[in-house]
């Protein structure tokens, strides 16, 4: 580690978030060192680009205590990527020593100055709401880019705007994962949205209570809170929120006397206290969960002063979200859907329920902790066949067998075998739908769910 005569920021990890954070910290006048454990030609090129801008980079450096021995408490800091566990022994030791440890979102938060944030979190739905809200605001003439957990680093966007001499955005629409919230406790968006809460990332957070507390900490910091009253876990804790605004995708009377929603859907119309606003069919995406996503995004837009007609026009022009129940092909009368974003049982169950059955489902990848019961029930109702691939295939086959699943089950190595087999099964069983719905993380075979979804898209296009 270089001499630390000036305050030093050590950025761990050279992914999208790490690179953006390093450039942003350097632009704010700090000395920056990036440590990356991997080494390959692509990273070598990234390192050279950063070094040209005055950032020090060391590749092939593992996360070990000796790398940080010279850091000074109170002045130096360590910036971690979301992929590194917050309870990593080295990070815990640094915090105990008084060295500040934070996430990339903290760097972006400090640099965004007066730009108001809309923070969006939840187990499922947050990506769709983020895309949808950014689309509505931009359609209305506001400059409201989406950043964060959607694959566009907040720090990267801010430094690119700064280097281009561009005016700051009107709003930042920020998708925030539990990993990002955990490492950036100071985030305090102007508005906070909470879509859903079901067990996820328990292999990292340990318990549902710990996972819920992380999500809740963000909302408690927000100026305004918008919550989905259709989520069972959020609704069960409704009494603990004294200033939240609630929305529902059903009639308000179904919520009972305790919750008075700001928006609801009744008789096919999105409703507010003032009366009907626009048709609930303005958003063409399938499934009841997308109605929930729509009322959350519409409620936010109304709170920002947009007119209902402007919101409706934006909803009608929304193209959907890549890898989230995305229809990619109609072939021989069969609709092919890419739902690679369904990385857990609950997200997969929502997608399976949302589209027309009977279907052939492609599932598999790196298995996560969680309760598979509702997912297995949905497969039993909707799927005539399930093609299992990747590391989870044997475990998933055992789950299906144990649940009494009566359809066809096939096991293959990867998607290259799964896709042509799914086509044959759909033809033989008369299924109008083939759905990639992994119910798993992607890291056994892909770098992320986008890469998995793109591979599926390529294979289907080649049929």
At 3 the pLDDT is: 47
Q: Are 17 and 84 in contact (CB under 8 A)?
A: no
Instruction: Verify cis geometry, omega within 30 degrees of 0, for the bond prior to 358.
Output: yes
Q: Quick one: DSSP state of residue 387?
A: E
Name the helix (H) or strand (E) containing 388: strand 383-389
Query: What value does the CA radius of gyration of the chain take, rounded to a whole number of Å?
Result: 23
Backbone φ and ψ for 141, nearest 5 degrees, come out as: 95, 5
Q: What are phi and psi of 447, to 5 degrees?
A: -75, -25
Question: What pLDDT does residue 200 have?
Answer: 67
Distance of CA 133 to the CA centre of its chain: 14
Per DSSP, 277 falls in state: E
Residue-level pLDDT, tens digit, the chain, 463 residues:
544 457 899 999 988 789 999 999 999 999 999 999 999 999 999 999 999 999 999 999 888 888 898 899 999 999 998 888 899 999 999 999 999 999 999 999 999 988 999 999 999 899 999 999 999 999 999 999 999 988 789 999 999 999 999 999 999 999 999 999 999 999 999 999 999 998 766 667 679 999 999 999 999 999 999 999 999 999 999 999 999 999 999 999 888 778 999 999 999 999 999 999 999 999 988 888 999 999 999 999 999 999 999 999 999 999 888 999 999 999 999 999 999 999 999 999 999 999 999 999 999 999 998 899 999 999 999 999 999 999 999 999 999 999 999 999 999 999 999 999 999 999 999 999 999 999 999 999 998 999 999 999 999 999 9
Using DSSP, state whether 11 is helix, strand or coil.
Answer: strand
How many Cβ atoms are within 10 Å of 111's Cβ, its own excluded? 18
- By C-alpha distance, which of 332, 324, 334 is closest to 360? 334
């Amino acid at each position: 580690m270089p001499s630390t005569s000036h305050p030093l920021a050590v950025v761990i990890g050279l992914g999208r978030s790490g690179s953006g954070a390093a450039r942003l910290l350097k632009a704010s006048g700090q000395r920056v060192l990036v440590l990356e454990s991997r080494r390959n030609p692509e990273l070598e090129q990234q390192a050279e680009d950063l070094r040209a801008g005055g950032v020090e980079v060391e590749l092939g450096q593992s996360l070990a205590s000796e790398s940080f021995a010279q850091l000074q408490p109170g002045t130096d800091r360590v910036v971690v990527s979301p992929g590194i566990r917050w309870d990593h022994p080295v990070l815990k030791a640094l915090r105990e020593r008084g060295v500040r440890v934070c996430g990339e979102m903290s760097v972006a938060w400090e640099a965004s100055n007066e730009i108001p944030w809309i923070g969006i979190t939840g187990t499922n739905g947050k990506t769709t709401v983020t895309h949808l809200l950014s689309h509505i605001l931009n359609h209305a003439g506001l400059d409201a880019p989406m950043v964060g957990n959607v694959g566009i680093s907040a720090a990267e966007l801010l430094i690119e705007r700064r280097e281009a001499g561009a005016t700051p955005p009107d709003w930042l629409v920020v998708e925030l994962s539990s990993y990002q919230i955990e490492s950036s406790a100071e985030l305090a968006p102007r508005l906070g949205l909470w879509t859903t809460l079901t067990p996820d990332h328990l292999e990292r957070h340990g318990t549902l209570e710990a996972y819920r507390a992380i999500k809740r900490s963000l909302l408690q910091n927000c100026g305004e809170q918008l919550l989905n009253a259709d989520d069972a876990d959020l609704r069960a804790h409704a009494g603990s929120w004294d200033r939240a605004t609630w929305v529902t995708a059903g009639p308000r009377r179904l919520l009972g006397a305790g919750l008075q929603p700001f928006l609801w859907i009744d008789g096919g119309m999105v409703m507010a206290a003032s009366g009907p606003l626009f048709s609930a069919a303005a958003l063409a995406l399938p499934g009841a969960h997308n109605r929930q996503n729509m009322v959350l995004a519409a409620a936010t837009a109304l709170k920002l002063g947009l007119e209902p007609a402007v919101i409706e026009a934006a909803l009608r022009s929304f193209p959907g979200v890549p890898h989230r129940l995305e229809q990619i092909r109609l072939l021989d009368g069969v609709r092919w859907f890419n739902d690679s974003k369904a990385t857990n049982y609950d997200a997969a169950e929502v997608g399976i329920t949302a589209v027309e059955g009977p279907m052939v489902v492609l599932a598999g990848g790196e298995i996560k902790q969680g309760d598979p019961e509702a997912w297995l029930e949905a497969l039993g109702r909707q799927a005539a066949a399930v093609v299992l691939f990747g590391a989870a295939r044997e475990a998933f086959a055992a789950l299906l067998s144990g649940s009494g699943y009566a359809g066809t089950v096939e096991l293959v190595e990867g998607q290259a075998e799964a896709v042509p087999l799914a086509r044959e099964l759909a033809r033989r069983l008369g299924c109008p739908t083939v759905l990639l719905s992994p119910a798993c993380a992607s890291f056994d075979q892909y770098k992320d769910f986008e890469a998995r979804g793109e591979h599926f898209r390529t294979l289907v296009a080649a049929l």
